[in-house]
Amino acid sequence: MRIWKSRAIAGALSLLLASALGCTMLQKTIEKPKVQLHSVGLKKLENQGLTLLVGLEVENPNAFELRVDSLRYEAEIEGRKVATGMLEDSVGVPAKGKSVVEIPVAINYGDLFGSVLDWVTRMGQNEKKTRYRVKGSVRVGLLDIPFDEQGELDLEQ
């Protein structure tokens, strides 16, 4: 009886170790998809703002489909919120393939006007860069994966 328990525990630990190694190896083989702007179009025009439909071409270099269940984000320029959006439809990008993902981008006129004024002021002060931030979360299955990207935009380009 004692030998059986020892073998069962050893077997369970072996399976646990194999699973952990498998997950580690799996994480190393997942390649980051390539994303580039495909299109921008007007979806809706209202009194308070407008909604653009931004098409992103996503190229999946992996041997399996990438599926996103939802996406929520907020974009800021110089700390001022300029756009928000959410994609609640499930989107898949085929293995070793490309797909255009269309994301609604809501822009409030007041926020847009303030950002344009900031941009004009910065150009007048001979400042050539402005800070941006895009933050939010991507839902994959039961997991919400947060993201927070920050950087600088070159105003001369």
The predicted model gives 50-68 an average pLDDT of: 87
* pTM of structure: 0.63
**Higher per-residue pLDDT: 22 or 152:** 152
Q: What SS3 class is residue 98?
A: strand
- What tokens were used for 97? 């393939």
Q: What is the 3-state secondary structure (H, E, C) of 4-66?
A: HHHHHHHHHHHHHHHHHHHHHHHHHHCCCCEEEEEEEEEEEECCCEEEEEEEEEEECCCCCCE
The predicted model gives 47-54 an average pLDDT of: 88
CA separation for the pair 72, 52 (Å, rounded): 15
Return the DSSP state at 89. S
pLDDT tens per residue across span 97-150: 998 888 888 888 888 788 778 777 877 777 778 888 888 888 877 878 888 888
pLDDT tens per residue across span 2-41: 444 444 444 444 443 344 434 444 454 678 788 888 888 9
